[in-house]
A and B are shown apart, each in its own frame.
Chain A
Amino acid sequence: VLAETLSASIVGVDGLPVRVEVDVAFGLPALTIVGLAGSQVLVARERVRSALRNSGFEVPARRITINLSPADLPKDGTGYDLAIGVGILAASGQLPATARLGETALVGELGLDGALRPVPGTMALAAAVHEAGVPALIVARPATSEAAVVAGLRVHGADSLGEAVSHLAGVRDLPLAAMTRLPATRGVVGGPDLGEVEGQALARRGLEIALAGRHNLALCGPPGIGKTLLLRCAAGLLPPLEDDEAIEVSRIYSVAGLLDRRAPLLRARPFRAPHHTISTQALVGGGPRVRPGEASLAHRGVLLLDETLQFRSDALDALREPLEGGSVTIARVEGALTMPARFTLLAAFNPCPCGWRGTRTRACTCEDGTARRYMARLSGPLRDRIDLWVTMVQPEALGGRELDGVEPSAAVASRISGAWRSQLQRQRGANGELSAGSLDGDHGFGKDAIGIIAQRGRQFALSPRRMHRTARVARTIADLAGVEIVAREHVDEALSYRGAVAA
């Protein structure tokens, strides 16, 4: 006897509907799962068998074959348990083939006692199910608010296999979950306040521009000068996620299993600061079971690489693709998969291994060659993608600076937010993502601005890519000033962050 249930699988950060076909036939008792099932799916046999028995059902002493279709897609995870268990019950006649069975997708892991447990990526799975035209979904109760993000999908939460089966059989209905709404505000974001940062006006300005227009920023300076403190302030300066961004980002966090199930929709822009010992896979994603890396977790937000030059060089190189294209592609034997990773890079590093090169009052103890090789860890292509360079210098030895005039985060955040609004109104995207073709009158680039960019490009021997990046930064500086037309002073300020010519 053949039965069919619906479930879904995670591919990268997207869901894909999966059909679970169960055939119960005469023969020696056996339970076989086919269809490119990974090791976690294969051991589902034991979990499902126990769960069925402990829920008061019977595991037929027959030859049971389970096929996960599409069969050419590699599947892993424990989310198919419920669909397999229900499929066996339907194929063995313990559950009548109701209309409900045909229109309800089943996602969840089974415990040996028949309890239903949530799985990572529920949000993406629910979205995939909905897109495939399935009207209803049963998930573990804790995961209902995560699944109920998808508008138009009927989501039911069940605590056990038994409850799910009762609902499908029409014996006792599960309650319908209420639609999960986006939080109105991003809530309180941790991290230091700019009001605690002494001096360093140029670096503060650089950070403000970088966050306002989503440009990549590099801070270079001796140890202890405040690079880390300043960049950690970024978390509190970011504007909240837009509605569509919130759903996009929350889905990635759902797949990574990082969501708070009680408040599954994120409003705060991601701020990720991985340690420099991170592996390449953890940074950009990948691994035997592909999971989103830090680059994808920083999607639509900030990726802070403190001590950038201490990161593995292959990890840094792997960031080239997301920095240029806004996504990560992972090639595997079964085919490539793509995950979004459009982040603002904040980099901070010392000028040399000992850290004191170029400072006035302390001797650098590094060999010239060592220092050069150190800086060369930031490869040319990566260097090219950094829009703003700020060299931080120690404040003058004499003459203390008072903290009175220092602007707190709130004031800077409101300027950033204003600049972000003007960008959304003008072009529905960040200045940092403007294409070369958009440097026109519609974007506030008059003849004068284009002319001054070309002239300065010749004077300072800039590559076309650099000139283009300068124009985008100038656009943000004008937005921060609340000006629609880009002027000479905006271009000149943008150029002041162009970075030193390699000495």
Chain B
Amino acid sequence: MIGVGASGPLAVASEPGGGWATAALGALDPVAEQPYWIALSLVPGVGPVGFARLLHRFGSGRAAWAAGRSLLTELPRLPDDAAPALARLRREGAAAVSERVTIATERAGGAVITALDGRYPPSLAAVDPRPAVLYVAGDPAAMEAVCVAVVGTRRATGYGRACAAEISDELARAGVTVVSGLALGIDGEAHVAAVAAGGRSVAVLPSPLERIYPPRHRDLAARLVATGGALVSELAPLHSPGRPDFARRNRIIAGLARAVVVVEAPDRSGALLTVAAAIDYGREVFAVPGPIDGIASRGCNRLIADHQATIVTSAAGLLHRIGAEPGGRPVSVASLSDAEGMVLNSLLQRPASIEELIGRTHLATGSLASTLTLLESRGLAESYGGATFHPTLVARRIGRAVDLKR
């Protein structure tokens, strides 16, 4: 994997100054190094690349810290506030800084995990450059299983949400950890479906652990931790800017995952950054196609057209491609009236607005509206925003098990 990463278009490891690949990490004592790693990672300008160069030049975090101001000359870019920040941190001392950050992390329910730590996610340990320090709440073991990222736009359509839920459900049942970015829209749908299927899900945050972003997903974040999943952030508590850092989050998502599935992405979606990172890291990229007249899927459709992503034609097919075994699923067949059967059958063929369903089923508007509510109350259909109706996961399963078309 390291070799693959180094050959990618954005590879840094081959630049002069060395990368993680050339650093002799095995010789370092994780416990003794930790305070210096934490302190160094807080210096502005020390990112994954900068940290790798420091290791390459000085051999250890302790030695780099001892070098004082001269370490700054090794960095790929030097922000204005780097020197004063380093001076402040050095006055405080590495031990005190690390203690302070560790306590704040623990207060947020997390743990500090450096790249030397045994708990550091193995898939991330294989990429270059990698984050030197991670802040993780929940169970880091969730990231040791096969991870697949399910990402997409915040402004998801009903179709996108339904696809995200179905794919995530299928992955979770197969024992795959679903990784995403906790954002509204596709990300949230993917997390929710994975947890609902009894699986584990990992959210990589664009914010530090103590400040969940977006705030509306605070409850969801807590649910992920409670169900054996994890929250991961590269940003230290107390030491991060106010603005969420989506670019770094997306690189971590790509790094954690064996494959990245883009469910729905318009032209300039952040999900496309995740794809760029995934290609960089040599991860397999999948994209769910969408209607060619819809704006929400333009990015996905282009990825497929440009051969940058493999087309997803079904959740089961995706599972097969990544080599996972489909999990079991309970099937219960509800007894449906003729009208219900007709409407559900129509929805299983293609999600539709009430307007379209009237054309397809020739039911009166009132009885159609009534039937949809009944299907909703049975958990067989749902709508997003009241406009378009979709069959639920349960309904799709029943649809596959029993041929409703007769």
- The closest CB in chain B to the CB of A364 belongs to B155
Given contacts A368-B184, A493-B366, A497-B369, contact A201 B358 (CB under 8 A): yes
Contact B353 A492 (CB under 8 A): no
- Bound together, the chains give a CA A481 to CA B155 distance in angstroms of 39
- Bound together, the chains give a CA A364 to CA B365 distance in angstroms of 29
Does B102 count as interface, using CB distance less than 8 angstroms? no
A360: contacting residue among B154, B294, B373, CB under 8 A: B294
Contact A204 B384 (CB under 8 A): no
Residues from chain A with Cβ under 8 Å of B386 in the complex: 389-391, 499-500
Residues from chain B with Cβ under 8 Å of A399 in the complex: 359
Contact B296 A360 (CB under 8 A): yes
- Bound together, the chains give a CA A392 to CA B386 distance in angstroms of 9
- Bound together, the chains give a CA A392 to CA B353 distance in angstroms of 9
- Bound together, the chains give a CA A493 to CA B367 distance in angstroms of 7
Given contacts A205-B366, A391-B386, A395-B355, contact A496 B373 (CB under 8 A): yes
User: 1/0 per residue A186-213: CB within 8 Å of B?
Assistant: 0000000000000111101100000000
Contact A205 B369 (CB under 8 A): yes
- The closest CB in chain A to the CB of B296 belongs to A360
Does A26 count as interface, using CB distance less than 8 angstroms? no
B370: contacting residue among A362, A391, A459, A490, CB under 8 A: A490
Does A495 count as interface, using CB distance less than 8 angstroms? yes
Does B383 count as interface, using CB distance less than 8 angstroms? yes
Residues from chain B with Cβ under 8 Å of A459 in the complex: 377
* Distance (whole angstroms) from the CB of A346 to the closest CB of chain B: 18
A204: contacting residue among B291, B296, B365, CB under 8 A: B365
Counting chain A CB atoms within 10 Å of each CB, which of B155, B376, B377, B387 scores highest? B387
Does B98 count as interface, using CB distance less than 8 angstroms? no
A200: contacting residue among B266, B355, B388, CB under 8 A: B355
User: 1/0 per residue A168-188: CB within 8 Å of B?
Assistant: 000000000000000000000
Given contacts A391-B387, A500-B385, A503-B385, contact A492 B295 (CB under 8 A): no
User: 1/0 per residue B367-379: CB within 8 Å of A?
Assistant: 1011111101100
Interface size of B as a range: 20 to 34
- Bound together, the chains give a CA A357 to CA B384 distance in angstroms of 13
Does A477 count as interface, using CB distance less than 8 angstroms? yes
* Distance (whole angstroms) from the CB of B351 to the closest CB of chain A: 11
Contacts between chains A and B (CB distance < 8 A), count: 88
Interface size of A as a range: 35 or more
- Bound together, the chains give a CA A201 to CA B353 distance in angstroms of 11
Contact A393 B388 (CB under 8 A): yes
Contact B354 A201 (CB under 8 A): yes
- The closest CB in chain A to the CB of B214 belongs to A368
Does A34 count as interface, using CB distance less than 8 angstroms? no
Residues from chain A with Cβ under 8 Å of B180 in the complex: none
- Bound together, the chains give a CA A205 to CA B364 distance in angstroms of 10
- Bound together, the chains give a CA A398 to CA B266 distance in angstroms of 22
Given contacts A361-B293, A364-B155, contact A202 B354 (CB under 8 A): yes
Given contacts A489-B370, A503-B384, contact A456 B377 (CB under 8 A): yes
Contact B154 A368 (CB under 8 A): yes
Does B157 count as interface, using CB distance less than 8 angstroms? yes
Given contacts A496-B372, A503-B385, contact A205 B365 (CB under 8 A): yes
Does B325 count as interface, using CB distance less than 8 angstroms? no
Residues from chain B with Cβ under 8 Å of A489 in the complex: 366-367, 370
Residues from chain B with Cβ under 8 Å of A495 in the complex: 373
Does B144 count as interface, using CB distance less than 8 angstroms? no
A202: contacting residue among B154, B266, B365, CB under 8 A: B365
User: 1/0 per residue A349-365: CB within 8 Å of B?
Assistant: 00000000110111110
* Distance (whole angstroms) from the CB of B355 to the closest CB of chain A: 6
Does A334 count as interface, using CB distance less than 8 angstroms? no
User: 1/0 per residue A472-503: CB within 8 Å of B?
Assistant: 00000100110000001110110111011001
- Bound together, the chains give a CA A456 to CA B157 distance in angstroms of 26
Contact A496 B387 (CB under 8 A): no
Give the residues from 155 to 188 in chain B that come closer than 8 angstroms, CB to CB, to chain A. 155, 157, 184
Residues from chain B with Cβ under 8 Å of A199 in the complex: 355
Contact A363 B266 (CB under 8 A): yes
Give the residues from 244 to 283 in chain B that come closer than 8 angstroms, CB to CB, to chain A. 266
Residues from chain B with Cβ under 8 Å of A490 in the complex: 370
User: Closest 4 interchain pairs by CB?
Assistant: A496-B369, A493-B370, A492-B373, A492-B370
Q: Write 27 A-B pairs (CB below 8 A) sorted by A numbering.
A: A200-B355, A205-B366, A205-B369, A357-B155, A358-B385, A360-B157, A360-B293, A360-B294, A360-B295, A360-B296, A361-B294, A361-B295, A362-B295, A363-B295, A391-B387, A395-B355, A396-B355, A397-B293, A399-B359, A459-B377, A480-B366, A489-B367, A492-B377, A496-B373, A500-B384, A500-B386, A503-B385
Q: Assuming A201-B355, A397-B293, what are 17 further A-B pairs, CB within 8 angstroms?
A: A202-B365, A202-B369, A358-B387, A361-B294, A361-B295, A364-B155, A391-B387, A392-B387, A396-B356, A455-B377, A492-B369, A493-B366, A493-B370, A496-B370, A497-B369, A500-B385, A503-B385
